[in-house]
Amino acid sequence: MNKRFENVRPRWSLGLLPMIMALAVVLGGLLAAPPAALAETAPVWTGYYYNNATLGGYPVLTRADAGLSFNWGTGSPGAGVPGDWFSAQWAGSATLDGGTYTFSATADDGIRVWVDDVILIDQWHLHLPTTYTASRYLAPGYHTFRVAYYDATGNASVSLSWTRGAVPPSTGATIVVDDRGAGFVWGGPASSWYSRQWGYNGALYWTYNSGHGTYNWAKWYPNVPAAGHYDVQVYVPSAYATTRRAQYVVNASGSQYVRELSQLSYSNQWVSLGSYYFQGGSGEFVYLSDHTGETHVSRQIAFDAIRFVPATGGTPPPPPGCSIVPTMGFGRVWSGVSSVRARLGCATEAEKTLWMGEQTFMGGRMFWRSDSSIIYVLNANGTWQQVADTWTSAEPEWDTGIVAPSGYYQPKRGFGKVWRNVLGVRSALNWATSEESGIYGGVQPFAGGTMIYSPSGGIYVLYGDGRWERYS
């Protein structure tokens, strides 16, 4: 196992404004329209070299580089560039045939690689000569590339190359993208990926989970032939799948839908993530990473096949003015209840699954969000309010002078502080009917309010006018 345990990455700067403008002029020429007849071309790189290791200020050397493969040893890359503590970046473009491309970058020291402005390799740290790989499906046509590099001391070297695989096939009406087939791309440290003869078609990849950042990831590109609804189903094998919080992200019709799945709950079976409207294009895919939020390297995540089955329902095509369409339970309520849709308006962010606190009272309910330390107070009379959680571990958990009647509870910690100190909360909620419990809930913000999902209570719609409703 060779995962990086640090989670702080140095800030990368493109330098000062004049340098950015100069780079933009060059990139403007690189981003011209592709030729009418598709023919593969080799990239011509424009290199910008700096006399510091941070890409700061003006480049001291700008030149055309025929290829991106250098081994300077302890010497200088060129006039004005020191032999140590320097940096460089390159911009290039090429016309390519469609297919899955695997990019290999070798560097001593730090390197970052972008393809079509999407970062594929991010290893901005000190290390000996090391090769990193990442894969991505590229549609036929024109593509842009960018590489950033720095050297500290000692030998300096950097190179980038790529190889092409096949175009994702369509297997009849149902599209299957397997981990050994075209359309499957992955990235992250190769030493942290493990291959096993298991699962769908007798092969899968797996890695350990990360509790505090993303290192290994994969994408499944369906390349659907025509717009329509597709049920997205993931194959969960009986082994190498022990995470309870696999975070799948479905990218369809310009929207993102996050679906959390407990792989541990399934064995050698297809599991649906829901139905979604796909427009058809290279920007639609399903994403999964090693970041689960569980204790670091305590779980295994399986990366196996995903299939896209034509469906008759699911998420509707995005309506005019709404770029994000709620799905699953939130989508069922938002799409099916016209009054909810009219009052909430469009979603402003994708649904988020997160750890929450929940407690029931004689006169309502409280929710706590771990991502923002916000407490929602829902009163039985249909009103609600939002309060900041200001409780700290240095404060008492509860008031010892307050004794709850038998069978009831005094709320503790943040809930208790709000209950005791915010005017009107205690009188409205009365005593708690249960102890506070932790849940994996869902939250999605809208222009006119917020939706909250609780496994025990269902879906709560909190409107911006201070009213709330519940849907089972």
Q: What is the pLDDT of residues 391-437, one digit of tens each?
A: 888 889 989 899 899 999 999 999 999 999 988 899 999 999 999 98
Q: Are 27 and 14 in contact (CB under 8 A)?
A: no
Q: Is the pLDDT of residue 361 over 90?
A: yes
CA distances from 93 to 27, 66, 146, 200 (A): 9, 12, 9, 37
Q: Is the pLDDT of residue 359 over 60?
A: yes
The 10s digit of each residue's pLDDT in 278-330 is 877 778 899 999 998 889 999 999 999 999 988 765 555 555 567 787 877 88
How much of the chain exceeds pLDDT 70, in percent? 85
Q: What is the pLDDT of residue 140?
A: 65
Task: Indicate the domain borders of the chain.
Answer: 17-94+110-126+135-154, 175-318, 343-471
Q: What is the pLDDT of residue 354?
A: 80
**Over residues 86-112, mean pLDDT:** 86
Q: What is the pLDDT of residue 127?
A: 83
CA-CA distance, 356 to 374, in Å (whole number)?
10
The 10s digit of each residue's pLDDT in 132-163 is 887 766 666 777 888 999 999 999 999 999 88
Mean pLDDT of the chain: 82
**Over residues 182-207, mean pLDDT:** 94
φ, ψ of residue 333 to 5 degrees: the values are -75, -45
pTM exceeding the 0.75 threshold for the entire prediction: no
CA-CA distance, 371 to 363, in Å (whole number)?
26
Q: Are 259 and 231 in contact (CB under 8 A)?
A: no
Per-residue pLDDT band for 444 (boundaries 50, 70, 90) equals very high
The 10s digit of each residue's pLDDT in 259-274 is 888 999 889 999 888 7
CA-CA distance, 397 to 420, in Å (whole number)?
12
Q: Is the pLDDT of residue 31 over 70?
A: no
CA-CA distance, 452 to 439, in Å (whole number)?
12
201-215, 252-266, 381-395: which range is least confident on average? Answer: 252-266
CA-CA distance, 339 to 451, in Å (whole number)?
14
Q: Which residue has the tokens 């005791």?
A: 420
253: alpha, beta or left, given left = phi > 0 and alpha = psi -120 to 50? left
Q: What is the pLDDT of residue 138?
A: 67
Q: Is the pLDDT of residue 35 over 60?
A: no
How much of the chain exceeds pLDDT 90, in percent? 42
What superfamily does domain 175-318 belong to in CATH?
Galactose-binding domain-like (2.60.120.260)
**Over residues 70-91, mean pLDDT:** 93
In 221-305, which ranges are E strands? 228-236, 246-252, 255-261, 269-278, 285-289, 300-303
Per-residue pLDDT band for 41 (boundaries 50, 70, 90) equals low
Nearest to 451 by CA among 348, 297, 310: 348
The 10s digit of each residue's pLDDT in 46-57 is 899 999 998 888
Q: What is the pLDDT of residue 29?
A: 32
Q: What is the pLDDT of residue 260?
A: 84
CA-CA distance, 162 to 328, in Å (whole number)?
39
Per-residue pLDDT band for 97 (boundaries 50, 70, 90) equals confident
Within 10 angstroms of residue 336's Cβ, the number of other Cβ atoms is 10
